[in-house]
Amino acid sequence: APAIAGVRHIIGVGAGKGGVGKSTVAAGLALALVRRGLRVGLLDGDIQGPSLHILLGATARARATADKRLIPLDLHGLRLLGMGLMADPDKAVAWRGPMVAGAMLQMANMADWGALDVLVVDLPPGTGDVHLSLAQKLKPSGALVVTTPQELARADARRAVAFFEQLEVPVLGVVMNMAGMPGPDGRMLYPFGKPEGPLAPGAPTLAELPLDPAVVAASDAGKPLVSGDVAAGLDRVAGAIAAKLGL
């Protein structure tokens, strides 16, 4: 039985280090799953550095019902919840690990998600209490790991893969983000290095997403990209995950 009533599958999106595009991919994956006609929830599990509410252009806060259940925000066809939608998001910055993990679980468990095919959880960067709680309490169907081709990021991503394996969370695959961009003469440039081979055994690359300045502009404007090579890559990721989960 699912750990959250009415939620068929929970997927964690993690990364070894910050700044590789984990939140962008989590949001983009959730939107790609919506495009497939699935019922999708998105939980910002990055309690101390939430960004999904900005990426998705949320203008309202989450509300609570009289019996203290949280109502996720409906936007772009999905249901969003996170610290960024709470009354006092800055409070969490001084919290200790167990409190941070507790807040993630509370949001996951106390929300009125309704019936969902997939709940995507954007995890904090690195490996920590939130990941442990996700694995032990929410029984996720799997995890997706985001990295850039840079060896510095890949090394940390390999640690994230090993961590999920230790927690017995199946690694569904890897997204290689910022994996090249067309230069002025049309030839590809690789500012973070050329993606070469799979990250780790058992962690297939589901997509290589190009570096696209339009993504930066879209995130800042709160209007996620739904077309172009990055969105197309995320459609492939969503397809691969849907196939793996039988959705």
Distance CA 129, CA 200 (A): 23
Name the residue with the smallest CB distance to ligand ADP: 21
3-state SS string over 184-225? CCCCEECCCCCCCCCCECCECEEEECCCCHHHHHHHHHCCCC
Note whether 164 and 192 are within 8 A (CB). no
Distance CA 247, CA 241 (A): 8
The position carrying tokens 């029984």 is: 139
Under the binding rule (CB under 6 A), the answer on residue 121 touching ligand ADP is: no
- In the shown chain, the binding pattern of residues 180 to 219 toward ligand ADP, with x for contact by CB under 6 A and - for none, equals -----------------------------x-xx--xx--x
Under the binding rule (CB under 6 A), the answer on residue 147 touching ligand ADP is: no
Under the binding rule (CB under 6 A), the answer on residue 52 touching ligand ADP is: no
Note whether 65 and 89 are within 8 A (CB). no
**Angle of the 22-35 helix axis to the 229-245 helix axis, nearest 10:** 70
We find the least distance from the C-beta atom of residue 212 to ligand ADP, in angstroms, to be 4
Segment contacting ligand ADP by CB under 6 A, of 22-30, 80-88, 137-145, 152-160: 22-30
Under the binding rule (CB under 6 A), the answer on residue 29 touching ligand ADP is: no
CA 14 to chain centroid, in Å, comes to 7
Under the binding rule (CB under 6 A), the answer on residue 73 touching ligand ADP is: no
Under the binding rule (CB under 6 A), the answer on residue 24 touching ligand ADP is: yes
Under the binding rule (CB under 6 A), the answer on residue 21 touching ligand ADP is: yes
Note whether 82 and 50 are within 8 A (CB). yes
Under the binding rule (CB under 6 A), the answer on residue 92 touching ligand ADP is: no
Token couple for 125: 């960067």
Decide whether 69 or 194 has the Cβ nearer to ligand ADP. Answer: 194
Segment contacting ligand ADP by CB under 6 A, of 11-19, 86-94, 100-108, 164-172: 11-19
We find the least distance from the C-beta atom of residue 150 to ligand ADP, in angstroms, to be 13
Residues forming contacts to ligand ADP in the complex (CB under 6 A) are 15, 18-24, 51, 177-178, 209, 211-212, 215-216, 219, 230
